[in-house]
């Protein structure tokens, strides 16, 4: 199994990164151990989609934008599971993740069919709904359905009362969820 983890937080060591790391620890303990690649979007040069549709003219037509997405999309196409980890900012996913998801337009959708999706979020509110978590989940559900993928796991962690580094239960839950990825 090939797992591609996408960290969409601007903070490489923040709450979302901690949850992703714990989740991937659980995944690594599977037998046989899966191939895991992690991409930190903040460190990548990913421009906004221009909507030109050149990438849609044929499967051999790549995106005309010369940036890091070309190599990243090769990893996306090989992945059996995509793990998206994002904090919730202004009632939605980060701009980094949205820009990345927009650029999936350049992928041959047939290669994404049956790919599994995992969504991990952190948010700074007591309530998921008022924080906007439901907006992120709904967006990924719609995208998954459109591209023939399946959202199989979702973990949303509040950082309102304590940071993830101090939240033993959240880290344990993330780890356990990672160990259950093949049961989905």
Task: Evaluate if residue 61 carries a pLDDT over 80.
Answer: no
Predicted local distance difference test score (pLDDT) of residue 62: 81
pLDDT by residue (tens digit) across 120-154?
A: 999 999 999 999 999 999 999 999 999 999 999 99
| Domain that includes residue 133, residue range | 2-183
Q: Which pLDDT belongs to residue 7?
A: 98
Query: From CA 55, how far away is CA 11, in angstroms rounded?
Result: 31
Q: Which residue has the higher pLDDT, 62 or 9?
A: 9
Q: What is the mean pLDDT of the chain?
A: 94
DSSP secondary structure, 57-77, as one string: S-TT---S--STHHHHHHHHH
**Per-residue pLDDT tens digits for 63-103:** 899 999 999 999 999 999 999 999 999 999 999 999 999 99
Is it the case that residue 184 has pLDDT exceeding 90? no
What distance in Å separates the CA atoms of residue 149 and residue 109, rounded to the nearest whole number? 10
Q: How far apart are CA 45 and CA 156, in angstroms?
A: 27
pLDDT above 80: residue 59: no
Instruction: Give the total number of structural domains in the chain.
Output: 1
**Span of 40-44, 53-57, 150-154 with lowest mean pLDDT:** 53-57
Number of H helices, E strands in the chain: 7, 5
Residue 83 sits in a domain of what CATH number? Answer: 3.40.50.360
């Amino acid at each position: 199994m090939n797992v591609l983890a996408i960290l969409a937080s601007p903070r490489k060591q923040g709450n979302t990164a901690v949850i992703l790391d714990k989740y991937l620890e659980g995944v690594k303990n599977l037998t046989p151990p899966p191939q895991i690649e992690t991409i930190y979007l903040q460190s990548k040069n990913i421009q906004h989609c221009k909507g030109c549709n050149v990438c849609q003219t044929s499967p051999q037509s790549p995106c005309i934008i010369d940036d890091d997405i070309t190599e990243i999309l090769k990893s996306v196409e090989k992945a059996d599971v995509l793990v998206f980890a994002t904090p919730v900012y202004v009632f939605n996913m980060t701009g980094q993740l949205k820009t990345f998801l927009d650029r999936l337009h350049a992928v041959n959708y047939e290669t994404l069919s049956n790919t599994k999706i995992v969504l991990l979020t952190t948010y700074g509110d007591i309530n998921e709904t008022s924080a906007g978590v439901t907006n992120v989940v709904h967006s990924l559900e719609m995208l998954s359905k459109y591209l023939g993928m399946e959202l199989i796991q979702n973990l949303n962690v509040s950082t309102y009362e304590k940071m993830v580094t101090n939240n033993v239960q959240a880290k344990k839950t993330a780890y356990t969820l990672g160990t259950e990825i093949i049961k989905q």
